Amino acid sequence: MNVLGFTALLFSGAAAAGFVGALTGLGGGVVLIPLLTLGLGVDIKYAIGTALVAVIATSSGAAAAYVREGFSNVRIGLFFEIATTLGALLGAFLAAWTPTSTIAVIFGVVLLGSTAFSWKGHAAAAEIQSPDPLATRLGLNGSFPSLAGGEQAYFPRRVPLAWLLMVVAGAVSGLLGIGSGALKVLSMDNVLGLPYKVSTTTSNFMIGVTAAASAGVYLSRGYIDPALAAPAVLGVLAGSALGARILTAARSNVLRLVFTAVVLVMGIQMIVQGLRGAV
């Protein structure tokens, strides 16, 4: 494949990654890393470095629209960003001494675990009417525009547990380059009990900062190649802009289905390739 064909294919794949990332809050790394490693033969550590830069672009492209429309909870995002950034720095340092096949298997297991919890009993969260005292003290309660019209209030709960999970999410981001969107969405959806659209849009708001913390480490180790990063960034910006337009009118069940399907396929692919030593 010549350089032009490689660049065009990478741009197209990155656009798809940005679109899926904006819709699901995953950041696009779950699409971009398998594309680079399995489809284009790129070493996984260079793929992770490229994905981290692309995740920053996804966050920049989608987050502004979500904040403007009133879906992202900025206060929740900033509060939990402390935890994810600490975890991201730890994960990025660990990645330098972890074999690529091991990283691929861990990546796949994390993704399959995400699908196992993405549909689990979230309906009970809607029945909780009384605000959590700690969440209220921190000013984390909020509301978002509902499809029926007007604002729908929500009250986060189990804040300490969610904070610990965000540290883990940050470490996974630094180790795997996926922006930790999968774990962030699950933490906010199933632990904090946020509405699904709030979880995905707040994740999009957060992932850029988490990825930036990890990207600095990858850049210092030479794992960010401009020839890969440039078309990837342009592609995810285009895809995330389109995804942001669609999400505001989409139904939560549809978004949850897209989230589960994408993560399930990518998780299985990465585990198989990691066990084969093909990455």
Encode pLDDT of 60-78 as tens digits.
666 777 788 788 888 998 8
Residue 144 β-bridge partners: 152
Distance CA 253, CA 267 (A): 21
Distance CA 97, CA 240 (A): 32
Distance CA 32, CA 44 (A): 11
Burial class (CB in 10 A: 0-12, 13-18, 19+), 252: middle
More confident residue, 13 or 95: 13
Each as own residue / partner, the long-range contacts of residues 150-153 (CB below 8 Å, 24 or more positions apart, any chain) are: 151/70, 152/195
pLDDT, tens only, 10-52 = 899 888 888 877 776 666 666 787 788 878 888 888 888 888 8
Q: What is the mean pLDDT of residues 83-109?
A: 78
**Ramachandran region, residue 150 (left: φ > 0; alpha: ψ -120 to 50; beta: rest):** left
Distance CA 204, CA 73 (A): 11
Provide the residue count of the chain.
279
Cβ-based neighbours of 137, under 8 Å, separated by 6 or more: none
pLDDT at 124: 42
In three-state secondary structure terms, 153 is strand
Encoding tokens for residue 149? 């019209």
Please say whether the beta carbons of 54 and 17 come within 8 A.
yes
pLDDT, tens only, 130-189 = 688 888 898 899 888 876 677 888 899 899 999 998 888 788 767 765 656 667 877 888
Number of neighbouring beta carbons within 10 Å of residue 4: 8
- Compute φ and ψ for 154, nearest 5 degrees: -145, 155
Residue 151 β-bridge partners: 145
> In 22-105, which ranges are E strands?
none
pTM of the model: 0.69
Distance CA 150, CA 70 (A): 12
Encoding tokens for residue 32? 């971009």
Q: Which domain holds residue 252?
A: 3-276
What is the total count of domains within the chain?
Answer: 1
pLDDT at 61: 65
pLDDT at 28: 67
pLDDT interval class at 123 (50, 70, 90): very low
